[in-house]
Amino acid sequence: MSLKNTGRLNRREMIKALSLAAAGGQGALSMMLQGCRDAQLTPEDRQRLGPGVALRKDKLGKTPKFLIVIAATGGASIVDSFLAMRQSESPNGALLNTFPDSMVKNVAGSPLRAVDFNGSLNLGGLSLPVVANQSAFVNKHKNDMLVCSFIGTSVNHVIAQKRSLTGNGAWSGRTLQECLALEYGAGFPIPHVNMGTAGYLENGADDGLPSYCYGESVANPSLWPLGLDGMRGIKALPDRSLVEMARTLRNEKLDPESTFARTFSKSDRLKRWYTQRGDGQRALESMDLITKLNILPNEPPNIPLTEYGLAESPDAVKVRAAFPDFFTDQFEGQAAAAYLLLKNRVSVAVTIGPNFNVLLNKGALGNPPLAFDFSHNDHRGTQAFMWNRILGVADRLIGLLKAEPFDATSGTSLWDHSMIYVATDFGRTKQRPNGATRFGTGHDFNNGHLLLSPMVKGNTVLGNVSPTTLESYGFDPETGTPDSTKVLSNDRDLFAGILHTLSVDTTGSGLPDARAFRRIA
Amino acid sequence: MRPLSDGDFQGALPGALRAVEALDSDGDGVANLAEVQKGTLPGDASSLPRDVPCGAGGNPTYSVCKYDRRYAVKKLVVDVCGGSPSYADLEVFSALSPAAQEARIDEVLDLCMATEYWRGKNGQVWQLGHRKVRPVGTLKGGPEETGIVQLGDYYDDYALFAYSQLDDHDAREVLTADFFVTRSLTPLTTYSKSYLIPFQAVDLPHRSGNLTTAWALAYFTMFTALPRNAAAQAYRGYLGLDIAKQEGMYPVPNEPKDYDAKGVTQPLCTQCHATLDPLSYPFRNYNGITGSDQQVLRFIPNRIETFFGDQAPAISQIPEEGYIFGQKVNGLKEWAQVAANSDAFAVATVGDYWRFLMGAPPTPEQNAEFVGLWQRFKTTNGYSVRKMLHELIKTEAYGAP
Amino acid sequence: MRPDTLRLLALACTALLAACPAPSSTLDSGTGGGGGTLEDGGSTSDFGISAKGVVRFKRNERLTIDFGNALGLPYDTLCKELGLYSCSIFVHPLALGGVDPYGSGLYEPLPFTGVTSPIAVDRVALAGCSQRVKADLETPASAVIFKGMTVVDGKVDPASPAAQTALDTLYKRALQRPPTQSELAHLASLNAEIVASGKPEPGKAWLTLSCFAVLTSVESLFY
């Protein structure tokens, strides 16, 4: 099939018009938000939600941990990265997705491997060169890397995506991000921001959590900050204090007395609305996030920030330097936003990741159609390209987090308190035509996942893959001992490992003690 | 792994239920039997019947215990026309007799369904189609909003879907139509049948609604030999049955055969693939984007043999006959007929509009109204969404505040 | 829907319910027009609430249409971030409950409003109300809501006939009902507060903020 390349990005004249150059009081705020949120919980809620919630007030002094989920959408294969197999190492090497020996790199002092790919991606009739250097990433970050084998339970994209976040319902169907928001997020204005796609965007199945635990969906991270203040950026409005008077009148007099509100007083949606527009809204606006999260530069006439009384973030220059394509590449924009959300103590959990759309960036391929799932057509090239993309963004994000002090006294960085979990739908089938270097693959339960954090037991592989079949086998989550007989799903182990590494109290969940994941067991 | 066979499970189930029916397993104060009968979950304390009698008391605006025609008509105009009616119009409405009000409600529905907001591009009917069509902007073909990699023009799929939902057309045609639908703005959107439109290459005898459009074949079949995704998406999108959630399971004996050697006979896989694989076989000759420009997005006899013959030893044995709801079908058109005539299709179609207009699935208390609606959709209403909606807006579920 | 599509919405809404035969003289106040009678023989001190308690957020398209109709403003100029980009359709669609099927693959609306939803609503309402007030005061001949307003020393008298009429018009356009005496009193008290603040142009501020308070009430946003 011939595929036409019009060079025209989808959506919209704005992207073309916007030609861009390369862009504490917290304690008191936390207390205000904490108080508001605690007031919403009944004794039954506290019992159901567990000791983590009941003790949350005491834990306000507990140092928060941060989770960034990078959704490697479409199926990122671990045997095309950190558990790659050389053809000579497998008795079935020619029929399995093994690599030429020279392409698989060992990393000194590490069980982790890397695939340094130099080939192409076949995009229909177009052959696009792909050069990917995973070994540089592993060499740089190995001490913060943990790779665990994974056997999942679905080969349906949307289902599997969600299960990669819920551990297949390991803890009442909650997502990892919701768990983190429940543990640490009460004092944060938007504890959980979700910029993912499809199944990664869905809430978990536990709809009894406090509403702040659920993800705030964001489609366009570069423009989203414009909506973080009810007034700023709109010309000729009354003074803020007067707007607050009107809000108070509406909230305390007009609405409560209206027949409509009284008639539908049982509505959960109205109750949620009242909560959302109350103190939480004021707290959010008081943080000046419309500035702090804005990395758009002032570039009239397309971005007339100054004219509208707005300004770019104090961090805009360094963030734009790290992610120069933040506006044209959503994934870079999401990563930029993720850094700022953590740095400004807005969120504890952020989800980012490419979607299925094709991206052309300055005439070059930025994202193949279907992201990792283009492996159906050209497995090797797609995996190399997309892993390069994921690791490139992760590397720059880690750089920003490492350079950001966590606070004024501890001497630690924001990275020291953060984790990146590279979630993915599933693995890919392991077979290939005899000796083929270009082939397509389907979906497969067997895979592995990457965790990046100074809190994980770094430079570690838990479980592994069989040289005979390339299929994953599991491990003891407590000791880390590989177990070649453990070939059924181990979602819970990974789910527990992530939560325990992030010091989330999972009492009552029945999750295994996954100390094998933790640097400090 | 399932510890019991299907037969053992079925045989033991009645006794197990009898043993627990008098208990209150979740401690919510309602016995298990009562919960099952009322449609709530006996194992979930937060799920319990809420058939609380309507409270006493006056209300200056709403008739909270019964169908309130003023409330219903205002809601209807917002839902279907897209904006609130004017104060003056509501006053005129309020002054009508009950019979005249009821007639006016019907007229309003028909007027609003003629608006662009309802029927136009990206209107409400289109929005009901999103999760069935599953568009991806940069992969769109065709002259409007052309994507970078033009797999297919899914606006054709939306057009057929909208056509089937409007103007007393038969909703089943979204699965069974052998025609396409064009869309024109003259000045409001009209949908017209057409037997020949650009880039739709499946020949007339083999067309089957949105199952065989260029977009469906390109996106859901794409490069795969056995189009499991296409079958599963059709099952999910149009029949409301998600195999990945263990819904609509009709395992066929001695399946899956794993013709394409994907390992689906493993114990973990068979519980879904015993249904999914036979469901997919009728799609076997509908080509995605494998082959030359003259071969893609078409019905290709012996497609498997032509393009995928060397992928697995038994792959060419994939039959064209398959199974849906446990019923054998001889090809995709018959598959589509069985699907479209099924209760599942009616439930899914009516359920879409119910959720759209109510904001939530039917509650246990509303189940009787919902069942009546979809059953009459199949029978007296002849699969006309318009007629069904005229009934839906008259239900207590819709019109009682 | 994109703004251009919204522009094509030549809604019959405003004449929708009246384009039919003349009304009958028979009234049934119980279920057709909210005539204020009591239901089910309850006590006059009881207030009948909905047992279902089901309301729905209007979401971005309906909000845009309703705000635009209420304020007499074109949908595509109602609110524009940086003066250029539609607030409700382009910049904040998800916050306002919309979908994004072609981009991020959000095929169905989110089941709940988000943390930033009230902020986005406030922005659209403030932008629209301030436009309406400005236009009505600067071009009184074509005023839509705030007709015949007299501004003296920057102030407006909320008890004046023009102000009362304006509020009546505002409520009828936004909520399809007249204001109650209590609501009028509350809005008058808002005016007093604004005047007492000493901020400039209190009259204009009061008109804008009355509009804002009504337009962002739950009765306006939900149905």
pLDDT in tens, B354-367: 999 999 999 888 99
Which position has the token pair 């991000």? A177
Quick one: pLDDT at residue A79?
Answer: 98
- Rounded Cα distance between C192 and C204, Å, is 13
Q: Are residues B98 and B218 in the same domain?
A: no
HSE of C212 in the Cβ direction (CA atoms, 13 Å)? 34
Residues B256 and B391 in one domain: no
Residue of C nearest to B104 (CA): C17
For residues C55 and C222, is the Cβ–Cβ distance under 8 A?
A: yes
Same domain, B184 and B285: yes
Q: How far apart are CA B324 and CA B175, in angstroms?
A: 14
B358 part of contact set with chain A, CB < 8 Å? no
Average pLDDT rounded to a whole number, residues A371-391: 96
Domain membership of residue C40 (yes or no) is no
> C141 vs chain A: nearest CA distance in angstroms?
22
List phi, psi (to 5°) of A191.
-60, -30
Confidence of residue A61 (pLDDT cuts 50, 70, 90): low
**Predicted pLDDT of residue A45:** 56
B314 domain-assigned:
yes
CA C121/CA A403 separation, integer angstroms? 37
Q: How confident is the model at residue C45 (pLDDT cuts 50, 70, 90)?
A: low
Q: Any idea what DSSP says for residue C89?
A: I
- Residue B365 and residue B266 share a domain: no
Note down the domain range covering B238.
124-340
* A429-455 tens-digit pLDDT: 999 989 999 998 988 989 999 999 999
Measured in angstroms, the CA of B92 and the nearest CA of chain A are apart by 21
Q: How many residues does chain B have?
A: 401
State the pLDDT at residue A43.
52
Answer yes or no: is B31 within a domain: no
Kindly state whether residue B8 falls inside one of the protein's structural domains. no
In the numeric block, which tokens belong to residue A381? 């090239």
Please check whether residue B224 lies inside any domain of the structure.
Answer: yes
How many degrees, rounded to 5, is the angle at CA A329 between CA A327 and CA A333?
60
**Range(s) for CATH 3.40.720 in chain A?**
24-218+351-517
The minimum CA-CA distance between C85 and chain B, rounded to whole Å, is: 19
Residues 282-311 of A with CB under 8 A from C: 284-285, 302-305, 307-308, 310
Minimum mean pLDDT among A480-489, B277-286, B392-401: which range?
A480-489
- Shared domain for B193 and B292, answered yes or no, is yes
- Give the nearest chain A residue to B134 (CA atoms): A198
Q: Does residue B271 fall inside a structural domain?
A: yes
Residue C7 has pLDDT above 90, yes or no: no
User: Per residue in B183-195, pLDDT tens?
Assistant: 998 788 999 999 9
Element (H, E) at C90: none
Put simply, whether B104 touches C (Cβ < 8 Å) is: yes
CA proximity to B211, closest of B192, B230, B239, B191? B230
Q: CB–CB of A14 and C90 under 8 A?
A: yes
Same domain for B360 and B248: no
> pLDDT by residue (tens digit) across A145-169?
999 999 998 888 988 999 999 999 9
| Cross-chain residue pair C221–A305, CB shorter than 8 Å | no
Spatial contact of A421 and A70, defined as CB atoms under 8 Å apart: yes
Number of domains in chain B: 2
Could you read off the pLDDT of A182-240 as tens digits, one per residue?
A: 999 998 999 999 999 999 999 999 988 998 999 999 999 999 999 999 999 999 999 99
For all residues of chain B together, what is the average pLDDT? Answer: 93
- Rounded mean pLDDT, B41-69: 81
Q: Which residues pair with B176 in a beta bridge?
A: none
- Look at residue B227 in the predicted model and tell me its pLDDT: 95
Cβ atoms of residues B40 and B47 within 8 Å: yes
Residue B117 lies in a domain: no
Q: Work out the pLDDT band at A12, boundaries 50, 70, 90.
A: very low
Both B329 and B387 in a single domain?
no
Query: Do B359 and B334 share a structural domain?
Result: no
Residue A11 reports pLDDT greater than 90: no
Which positions ≥6 away from C37 have C-beta within 8 Å? B58, C29, C30
Residue with tokens 């419309």: A290
Contact (Cβ atoms closer than 8 angstroms) between residue A123 and residue A435: no
Check B223 against A376: CB less than 8 A apart: yes
In A177-305, DSSP assigns E strands to 192-194, 216-217
Domain membership of residue C81 (yes or no) is: yes
For residues C208 and C133, give the distance between their C-alpha atoms in angstroms, rounded to a whole number: 6
**A256-283 residue pLDDT tens:** 999 999 999 999 999 999 999 988 898 8
Position A52 pLDDT exceeds 50: no
Number of compact structural domains in chain C? 1
Alpha-carbon distance of C183 to A447, in angstroms, equals 62
Calculate the alpha carbon distances from B10 to B4, B13, B17, B66, C149 in Å.
Answer: 9, 5, 11, 42, 77
- Helices and strands in chain B, H and E counts: 18, 4
CA–CA dist A53, A38 (Å, integer):
9
Contact B38, B51 (CB under 8 A): yes
Chain segment B2-29, per-residue pLDDT in tens? 677 778 888 999 999 899 999 999 888 8
pLDDT at A42: 56
Is residue C9 assigned to a domain? no
Q: In terms of DSSP bridges, do strands A66-72 and A418-424 run parallel, antiparallel, or are they unpaired?
A: parallel
Residues of chain B found within 8 Å of residue C56, distances taken between Cβ atoms: 359
Strand partners, A159: none
A-B Cβ pairs (cutoff 8 Å, strict): 83
Is the residue at C166 inside a domain? yes
Tokens of B256: 């899956």
Nearest to B89 among C15, C42, C101 (CB): C15
Rounded Cα–Cα distance for residues A85 and A399 (Å) = 30
Whether the CB of B65 is below 8 Å from some CB of chain C: the reply is yes
What local confidence, expressed as pLDDT, does residue C36 receive?
A: 24
How far apart are alpha carbons C1 and B125 in whole angstroms?
12
- With a pLDDT cut of 70, the percent of chain A lying above it is 88
Length of chain C: 223
The three-class DSSP label of residue B179 is: coil
> What are the φ and ψ backbone dihedral angles of B140, each rounded to 5 degrees?
-80, 135
pLDDT of residue A153: 84
pLDDT digits (tens, 9 = 90+) for A326-366: 999 999 999 999 999 999 999 999 999 999 999 998 888 99
Q: For residue C164, with 0-12 CB atoms within 10 Å meaning exposed, 13-18 middle and 19 or more buried, which class applies? A: middle
Q: What are phi and psi of A114, to 5 degrees?
A: -150, 150
Which of A202, A189, A195 lies closest to A224, judged by CA? A195
Q: Quick check: A290 contacting B, CB < 8 Å?
A: no
Q: How confident is the model at residue B52 (pLDDT cuts 50, 70, 90)?
A: low
CATH number of the domain located at residue range(s) A24-218+351-517 in this protein: 3.40.720
| Structural domain that includes position C137 | 54-221
The secondary structure of A137-176 as a DSSP string is HHHHHGGGEEEEEEE-S--SHHHHHHHHHHTTTTTTT--H
Inter-chain residue contact A257 with C182, CB threshold 8 Å: yes
